[in-house]
Amino acid sequence: MSGPVPKGTGMLQSSVGARYAGMLGIGGYRPERVVTNDEVCTWIDSSDTWIRERTGIISRRWASEEQTIVDMAAEAAAPALEMAGITADQLSAVIVATVTHTMQTPAAAPMLATRIGAKDAAAFDISAACAGYCHGVSLASDMVRGGSAEYVLVVGVEKLSDITDKRDRGSAFIFADGAGAAVIGPTDTPGIGPTVWGSDGEKWEAISQRVPWDRIVALQLQEATTGEPADWVAAGAMDATEASTLKMAGQTVFRWAVWSMAPVAQQAIEAAGITASDLDAFVPHQANMRITDAMIKQLKLPADIPVARDIAETGNTSAASIPLATERMLREGEVPHGGLALQIGFGAGLAYAAQVVRLP
């Protein structure tokens, strides 16, 4: 053949990754400040007994005013890297799962990557609320096996105290702050089972910010320039504080989680090619102890499987809850290193993701 090679006939090289990916390390960070149910009851008309019975929460951790999600994420990343036996400069990518990074742009991940010394790593945030960490684990596993990364840091981190209305009787007692991190990298045997994930955007209002940021900014600007008080009620909130916080339709979320999430968890077990009796731990999103109990029943899990109940002292930390609960179970010897854990995240979106992982 003579003449120029026509465009588009070149043989494209595809990237080649590791045969298998697995979780190599895990770490967690809980802020120092303990917020007891009694303290919560100074903000809302409630009781320690009611909060314990309805949610299983005894106390939660709230970050200090100055502490950012990047600060907390860095604290969680350090022990995860140490357990994985790698240094930050070996990371090809950093994924931050969060809904409480308070800047629309830039993402938190590049700041975190620089902070921990993961120079030049690809770094981006994902927004899948309480399902964010399991989404991140799935992405990282695919990146390692697809060849776009060797080691990936996945961090679930939240400062929900920033977007909690302390006066809201329907949510003030539930949300908390913290960070959990996992290092995903190449392994000799399968370490992360197939992810079963999905969403139901029809129920987006079940957990959402009350008023979009742009509307809040516009109203505040209008107030500042005209001197007229902003009509927050027309915007869907009683004042600026309520406008910028979360609203939650508790019962809608409760019913959805109880009825729809057990089948997803069951599919993740089957997709991994195991049965419930092979599991060493069940680590559901720490949304609410009653949701966890209902899922155990529906899944018919063997009575002796250790179940994460970190919510009792950590509260609901959204994207951070699964890695924090896993870190605690490993640290306290409740599950063995190398054991199999079923993890499932679910929440705002509504979004969900589940997979079976071999613990580091």
Ligand X SMILES: CC(C)(COP(=O)(O)OP(=O)(O)OC[C@H]1O[C@@H](n2cnc3c(N)ncnc32)[C@H](O)[C@@H]1OP(=O)(O)O)[C@@H](O)C(=O)NCCC(=O)NCCS
Residue numbers of the site for ligand X (CB under 6 A)? Answer: 44, 46, 50, 54-55, 130, 169-170, 173-174, 248, 250-251, 253-254, 287-288, 291, 316, 347
Residue 111 CB partners (closer than 8 Å, separation 6+): 70
Shortest separation between residue 249's beta carbon and ligand X, angstroms: 8
Q: Which residue, 168, 176, 166, is CA-closest to 285?
A: 176
135 labelled catalytic = no
164/288 with CB nearer ligand X: 288
Shortest separation between residue 119's beta carbon and ligand X, angstroms: 35
130 labelled catalytic = yes
Q: Which residue, 81, 91, 124, is CA-closest to 106?
A: 124
Shortest separation between residue 20's beta carbon and ligand X, angstroms: 31
55/141 with CB nearer ligand X: 55
232/254 with CB nearer ligand X: 254
For ligand X, which residue has the nearest CB? 250
Distance CA 251, CA 149 (A): 41
Q: Which residue, 152, 157, 144, is CA-closest to 97?
A: 157
**For residue 302, what are its two tokens?**
């063997």
Shortest separation between residue 262's beta carbon and ligand X, angstroms: 15
Shortest separation between residue 341's beta carbon and ligand X, angstroms: 19
> How many C-beta neighbours within 10 Å does residue 273 have?
11
**For residue 270, what are its two tokens?**
């089957």
145/285 with CB nearer ligand X: 285
User: Of the listed 37, 135, 288, 316, which one is catalytic?
Assistant: 316
Q: What are phi and psi of 82, to 5 degrees?
A: -65, -45
> Residue 21 in 3-state DSSP?
strand
> Residue 286 in 3-state DSSP?
coil
151/175 with CB nearer ligand X: 175
Q: Which residue, 152, 138, 193, 149, is CA-closest to 17?
A: 149
134 labelled catalytic = no
User: Of the listed 101, 134, 135, 285, which one is catalytic?
Assistant: 285
Active site residues: 130, 285, 316
